[in-house]
Amino acid sequence: MRPPAILLVDHGSRRAEANAVLDAIAGLLRRRLPGRVVEIAHLELAPPTIDEGIDACIRAGAREIVVHPFFLTPGSHGAGDVPALAAAAADRHSGVSIRVTAPLGAHEALVDVILARIEAA
């Protein structure tokens, strides 16, 4: 049994350098999880869409997909829009399991990142 594919979803931006951050995070995940399907999607403003990201996971052989809203808080996008779009995609792809994680939230590891940024300032 293959491990679930990972679909990272952020808001999306008109600025390419902002969208490149999600590409970089996906690359880090791929290096940490060799052989694992890791794709990205943007909620709006830039391709690929969530539907396109899910399709890419399925084309890569995924039968199970974990969607991670790359947001800090459980606002309307992370708690509402992303899960709704993932559920709609699951309805279109019978036999594929699609789950959505919580957003990043208040996690101890984020404190380490904040402290590293403060030290580097």
Q: What is the pLDDT of residues 7-33, one digit of tens each?
A: 999 999 999 999 999 999 999 999 999
**40, 26, 56, 98 alpha-carbon torsion, rounded to 10°:** -70
> Does residue 79 register a pLDDT over 90?
no
pLDDT of the residue at 15: 95
Contact 41, 49 (CB under 8 A): yes
Q: Measure the CA angle with vertex 87, ends 81 and 92; round to 5°.
A: 130
Closest CA to 48 of 82, 85, 9: 9
Residue count of the chain: 121
Domain that holds residue 83: 5-120
Question: At 77, which CATH number?
Answer: 3.40.50.1400
Q: Determine the Cα–Cα distance for residues 107 and 95; give it in Å rounded to an integer.
A: 33
pLDDT tier at 63 (50, 70, 90 boundaries)? very high
Q: How many domains does the chain have?
A: 1
pLDDT of the residue at 9: 97
